[in-house]
């Protein structure tokens, strides 16, 4: 099977793989944690669709307002996407304008309330008792984060199932970079009580990768000793510290 040939696999009539498995299969052939890759791709797809079609959709807008916009990372991603693709910021501006108008209105309304509720003279509490207005309090999570979490959960579950079945998807995963720290933890949560073998397979794959990474990191650290200066490092050793960051912190957003 050629690398990254998920579509070919489906065409070959492998009934065991559905669209989710195929996406996972393809992600296993890319560099880095496949669950991170699929999460990033799914979030990017959502943001692109939002900018293309849904900026003026009432339901999407209400959800955006409820979470007081997106989290900082996804807000920046939305901005960069619109700037890169359309060289403009109209979609972002429309969303921000709606939210800011509501916030400004809330500030004006509640300023009056706060002005008239003074504390007794000489009394200075350590913490505020001032309740923030509804419009300034997020009522739900960032929609894109929520979607990302759903994707992670779904793909982790599939990966655990693939580990138990040990089929073609598992073979692709076994040859991949493996899961990052956080996604390995999440995948372990999906191992059922009668399926210890899946956990063992997942961990064996991680152990092999981590042993290789630690050896490469050791060589990288040693190469900074003056005794070893001038020695030519392999590509794997040179990039080991970057792989370690990706492993510990997840793929770069």
Partner 1 sequence: MARHALYYTLLETLAEPGCAICRMGEKAVIRFLENLVYEGANDAQFRAEALLSRGFCNLHGWQLRDCHGSGLDVAILSRDVVKAWLRRLESFAPEQAPTRAFSDLRAALGMANGNAGARALAEALAPERPCPACKARDTAEQAYIEELLDHCADPEISGGVIRAGGLCLTHFRKVMHTAATAEQAALIAQLQAEALAPLLQTLEDFICKHDYRFQAEMTATEGESWLKALALLSGQRGTR
Closest to partner 1 by CB, 12 or 200: 200
Q: Is 124 in the site for partner 1 (CB under 8 A)?
A: yes
CB atoms within 10 A of CB 212: 13
Phi, psi of 157 (to 5 degrees): -60, -45
Q: Is 166 in the site for partner 1 (CB under 8 A)?
A: no
CA distances from 153 to 13, 36, 87, 183 (A): 27, 11, 34, 9
Tell me which of 18, 57, 97, 165 binds partner 1, using CB under 8 A: 97
Q: Is 181 in the site for partner 1 (CB under 8 A)?
A: yes
Closest to partner 1 by CB, 6 or 250: 250
77, 78, 79, 83: CA torsion to nearest 10 = 100
Q: Is 184 in the site for partner 1 (CB under 8 A)?
A: yes
> What is the footprint of partner 1 within residues 12-71 (CB under 8 A)?
68-71
Tell me which of 20, 41, 99, 141 binds partner 1, using CB under 8 A: 99
> What is the footprint of partner 1 within residues 187-206 (CB under 8 A)?
188-196, 199-200, 203, 206
CB atoms within 10 A of CB 29: 18
Tell me which of 7, 16, 66, 245 binds partner 1, using CB under 8 A: 245
Q: Is 233 in the site for partner 1 (CB under 8 A)?
A: no
Q: Are 218 and 239 in contact (CB under 8 A)?
A: no
Q: Quick one: how far is CA 82 from the chain centroid?
A: 20
């Amino acid at each position: 099977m050629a690398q990254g040939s998920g579509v070919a696999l489906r065409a070959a009539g492998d009934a065991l793989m559905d669209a989710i498995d195929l996406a996972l299969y393809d992600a296993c052939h890319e560099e880095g944690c496949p669950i991170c890759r699929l999460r990033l791709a799914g979030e990017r797809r959502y943001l692109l669709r939002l900018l293309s079609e849904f900026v003026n959709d009432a339901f999407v807008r209400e959800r955006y307002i409820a979470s007081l916009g997106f989290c900082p990372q996804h807000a920046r991603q939305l901005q960069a996407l619109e700037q890169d693709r359309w060289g403009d910021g109209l979609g972002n501006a429309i969303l921000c304008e709606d939210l800011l108008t509501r916030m400004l209105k809330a500030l004006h309304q509640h300023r009056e309330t706060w002005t008239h509720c003074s504390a007794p003279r000489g009394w200075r509490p350590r913490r505020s008792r001032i309740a923030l207005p509804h419009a300034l309090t997020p009522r739900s999570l960032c929609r894109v984060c929520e979607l990302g979490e759903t994707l992670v959960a779904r793909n982790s579950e599939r990966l655990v199932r693939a580990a138990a079945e040990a089929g073609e998807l598992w073979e692709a995963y076994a040859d991949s970079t493996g899961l990052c720290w956080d996604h390995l933890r999440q995948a372990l949560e999906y191992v059922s009580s009668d399926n210890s073998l899946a956990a063992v397979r997942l961990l064996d794959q991680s152990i092999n990768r981590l042993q290789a990474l630690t050896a490469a990191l050791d060589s990288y650290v040693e190469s900074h000793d003056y005794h070893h200066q001038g020695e030519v490092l392999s590509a794997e050793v040179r990039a080991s510290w970057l792989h370690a960051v990706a492993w510990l912190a997840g793929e770069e957003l």
